[in-house]
Chains A and B, each alone.
Chain A
Amino acid sequence: MRDRVYRTEAVIIRRSDVGEADRVLTILTPLGKQRVVARGARKISSRLAGHIELFTHATLMLAIGRNLHIVTQSNPLERFDRLRTDLERIGAAYYAAELVDRLVEEADENRRAFALLLATLRSLDAGAAADLTLRAYELHLLDALGYRPQLHICAVCGELLTESTDRFSASAGGAVCPRCAIADRQAPPMSLPAFKLLRYLQAQPPEIAGDLRISPATRAEAERLMRAYLHQILERDLRSLAFLEDVRLTQHLAEPDHADTTGMRRFAQGDNDDSN
């Protein structure tokens, strides 16, 4: 049998165990998403094992297999070691990986999505505020994949939005003008700071997100709005949200006066408001 091998740059976004000691990896490459198998990768002696950890950015050598292609070698380019030692950042990386996994189809070329995931992992690793980094990632990824939320013109009538905008309708596809808001009573309210934050994050390069100084309440609101929007597109919540919330709750127990987590908890409780 001819052994055809090729090289690709990839980020490992998902991993599961199969067989005795193998792992199936979902990788994101500039050419799209792909599922590949790493044989024997659960064995401690495997040279491959340490090089195909979740979220690793690597150059992979792949052999064309009958079903899944087989990882024969991995040369890590970035391991994001700092990210791996912090529970909030691990949770954020899980979320970033799951979001792109859910939004990108297999073999669907998207260099921008690949670059965005990498930039997000770099920001998280460098210590940027995890929630703002994720908001910027969501907005830019949605744009790259054709799901851009409307934040400059009304999602219903197309009229230019002004500072009097105070509603965000996930089902309409973004912010709505006051006139259309009267017609769509389902649209949840949006404060001016949250509106401005989302617009700013959408317009600026994602790397700036971590440097912004934004109140916890506004951050929590931006998260709630984006979650409603993503829920509309994905038709269900991401699995990593349960983990992120659990991590926040335990952090809250450990540090009861932490300003950030108070905002996050308010957000978690305010969840019910969406359905009303």
Chain B
Amino acid sequence: MKILVCITNVPDTTSRIAFINNDTEFDKSGIQYVIGPYDDFALARAVELKEELGGTVTALNVGEAYGDPVIRKALAIGADDAIRINSFPKDSFFVAKQIAEVVKKGGYDLVLMGRESSDFNGGQVHGMVGEMVGLPVVSPVMKLDIENGKAKIAREIDGGKEFLEVNLPFIAGCQEPIAEWKIPNMRGIMSARTKPLQVLEPVGDETRISLKKFSLPPEKGEVKMIDEDNVEELVQLLKNEAKVI
């Protein structure tokens, strides 16, 4: 089983988010980076599948060198080697294009990634990669087992789950509870030192999105407490003040 896991390098979820250059650029100063939480689930399941069925796990990141610590963590968790495409991940199309190149050349049985990143939350990359390389895509995958060379999958759908069987190879966008996040152990961290990390230059620089401006969500307003018997007042407020119904 040859598995490719695509990981994003995203701000830690407790980071304070700020923008610079007239709100056109994310302020990276003081930011701690982590493996995208959904990608971390994908990685955990990939390592489990390797333990179960044998094979290799390659971690892939499209990003600049400041993402290397996160790649080392993936190696410490159990990836055998890693590839970094040396470019800022400009937009989903650009990232998908880079991943597609690796997928085409690598001959992977399984390409796993998070259902979406936790910075831009685009949730588009898996679909685009599938289209570019002509492989089926399933997302969001909550359960993934391989039996007799076929994948048994549970996928989240509105208000329920869908159970699927898919032939390999394919691409999956993963989410919990596909596996429990793995905490690297000290031996893993030590052995990650010597695992290969290949840095490749990107192919092309085509993007489909141009970024105009960032803005923060509005501050949370005051909370109004309404007595549980007073449904009428609640309806009034939702209608006239919040104007949502």
Is A bound to B? no
Binding site for A on B (CB under 8 A): none
- A contact set with B: CB distance below 8 Å: none
